[in-house]
Amino acid sequence: MIVLVINCGSSSVKYQLLDMKSDNVYDLLAKGLVEKIGLPDGCITHKPTGKEPYSQTLPIPDHTVGMKLVLEALVDPNHGVLKTFDDIEAVGHRIVQGADFFSGSVLVDEDVIEKIKICCDLAPLHNPAHLLGIDAIKNVLPEVPQVVTFDTAFHQTMKPYAYMYALPYEYYTKYKVRRYGAHGTSHQYVSQRGAEFAGIDINNSKIITCHLGNGSSITAIENGKVVDTSMGFTPLEGMIMGTRCGNIDASIVPFLMKKEGLTPDQMTDVMNKKSGFLGLSGKTSDLRDLNDLALEGDQRAKIVLKKLTYDTIKNIGSYIAEMNGVDLIVFTAGIGENNPRLRRHICENLSFMGVKIDNEVNENSRNEAMLSTPDSSVKVALIPTNEELMIARDTMHIVSELEN
Ligand code: ADP
């Protein structure tokens, strides 16, 4: 089944076209990015497999025009990979927030759209853009079934004591204030793939997945079900991130708003876009640059690197205690996949309980790898994340059922 996977942002559309033969057998036909929607210098970059990449700068007034450009690129005689639009059998969308409405992927219908709209309040930057993407596909491919996959769905198995904040209960009933988590599609993919790779039965397992990227979250998964995750009501909660502060004493928020005369929106901006690696180092949100700065002796960059390791260890430690053990720890995403030093430091801190990794394998692996030694008490694996594959799989399953 040929599935177009879409990740719509407010001014961008990321896409992948996959030919799904089964859950694990597929061809990536093309991928690309439409950027700067709404601006005069909009841009599409299209990368067809086995052909030259292509890019074009032109005004892209809205998402429907952006989506038309994607489809034209996919069927273009020179850099296309399909004969006609009709070859696209289904479209799968990534949706950031599904609140407690969705615990899995679903086929798009009016009711689903209404619920995604209600969730806009909880993800004002993302959900409205996803709705534009669904609408744009409806305009250009009206007959093609669309499926939505939620970043929050995998975390819906958390128990109330894990997802409730100790705030007055009415804020939960009135405004849905609770912990939802994020990166669920990634945690689900790497836990399933990690268990498979490590030869562990997921239905009888304790797994901790560390998605460490620009945004970072850590999840505890028992028997395939999430028991806890570090992100909360929004992706701001949890550990230090590229530009997000993660956990801070909530009293700091009104304190700084008063001192600096900040509005709620400005304070939100400080915590989401000006904090984390960027805020603490004062220089950059990118871990590669921080590594370079630390080598040059930059003290604040060194604190950031230490804090990243420290926050990761704190989360892993608390999840081991919560689950009363762990069989497998998985590292993934930009930082998790590319920073052997960080992985080594984390695992060294777990040596008290018999975690041992092979330093050479750890140093040289950038792809799927078992980092732990055979005599390690806990398996440690590197599994590159693949959220698009997860979305394409769910889309294939849901649309195939529709056809039967
Ligand atoms: P996003 O959350 O935006 O998807 P990524 O998962 O791509 O982010 O992670 C981005 C982070 O990963 C950046 O801090 C970047 O420095 C780091 N990173 C990416 N590639 C490498 C690499 N080859 N070596 C070290 N760090 C890397």
Ligand 1 atom at shortest distance from the alpha carbon of 212? 6
Contact predicate 109/116, CB 8 Å: no
Contact predicate 346/315, CB 8 Å: no
Q: Which residue among 151, 228, 311, 327 is the active-site one?
A: 151
CA of 386 to the centre of ligand 1 (A): 14
Tell me what the pLDDT averaged over the chain comes to: 96
Ligand 1 atom at shortest distance from the alpha carbon of 288? 16
CA of 341 to the centre of ligand 1 (A): 14
The pLDDT value recorded for residue 9 is 83
Q: What are phi and psi of 34, to 5 degrees?
A: -105, 130
CA of 287 to the centre of ligand 1 (A): 7
Residue of 126, 214, 277 best suited for mutating to test ligand 1, as the one with most atoms within 8 Å of CB = 214
Ligand 1 atom at shortest distance from the alpha carbon of 385? 6
SS3 for 206-223 is EEEEEEECCCEEEEEEEC
Once rounded to an integer, what is the mean pLDDT over residues 58-68?
92
Helix ranges (DSSP H) in 183-281: 184-198, 252-260, 264-273, 276-281
CA of 248 to the centre of ligand 1 (A): 24
Binding-site residues, ligand 1, Cβ < 6 A: 213-215, 242, 286-288, 333-335, 338-339
Asked if the model's pLDDT at residue 265 lies above 80, the reply is yes
The pLDDT value recorded for residue 345 is 97
3-state secondary structure of 245: coil
Amino acid, res. 378: V
pLDDT tens per residue, range 342-389 = 999 999 999 999 999 999 999 999 999 999 999 999 999 999 999 999
Ligand 1 atom at shortest distance from the alpha carbon of 339? 25
Residue of 189, 287, 364 best suited for mutating to test ligand 1, as the one with most atoms within 8 Å of CB = 287
Q: Calculate what percentage of the chain has a pLDDT beyond 70.
A: 100
Contact predicate 223/349, CB 8 Å: no
CA of 282 to the centre of ligand 1 (A): 18
Q: Calculate what percentage of the chain has a pLDDT beyond 90.
A: 94
Which residue has the least CA distance to atom 23 on ligand 1? 338
Q: Show Cβ contacts of residue 344 under 8 Å, excluding neighbours closer than 6 positions.
A: 357, 359, 362
Which residue has the least CA distance to atom 1 on ligand 1? 214
The pLDDT value recorded for residue 10 is 79
Which residue has the least CA distance to atom 22 on ligand 1? 338
Once rounded to an integer, what is the mean pLDDT over residues 141-149?
96
The pLDDT value recorded for residue 125 is 81
Helix (H) or strand (E) run with residue 171 in it: helix 170-175
Ligand 1 atom at shortest distance from the alpha carbon of 285? 14
The pLDDT value recorded for residue 404 is 75
pLDDT tens per residue, range 183-219 = 999 999 999 999 999 999 999 999 999 999 999 999 9
Would residue 23 show up in a list of annotated catalytic residues for this protein? no
Q: How confident is the model at residue 124 (pLDDT cuts 50, 70, 90)?
A: confident
Report the predicted TM-score, pTM, of the whole model to 2 decimal places: 0.94
Helix pair 287-295, 299-323: axis angle to 10 deg: 120
3-state secondary structure of 262: coil
The pLDDT value recorded for residue 342 is 96
Domains and CATH numbers, the chain: 2-155 (3.30.420.40), 200-387 (3.30.420.40)
The pLDDT value recorded for residue 45 is 97
3-state secondary structure of 257: helix
Which residue has the least CA distance to atom 19 on ligand 1? 334
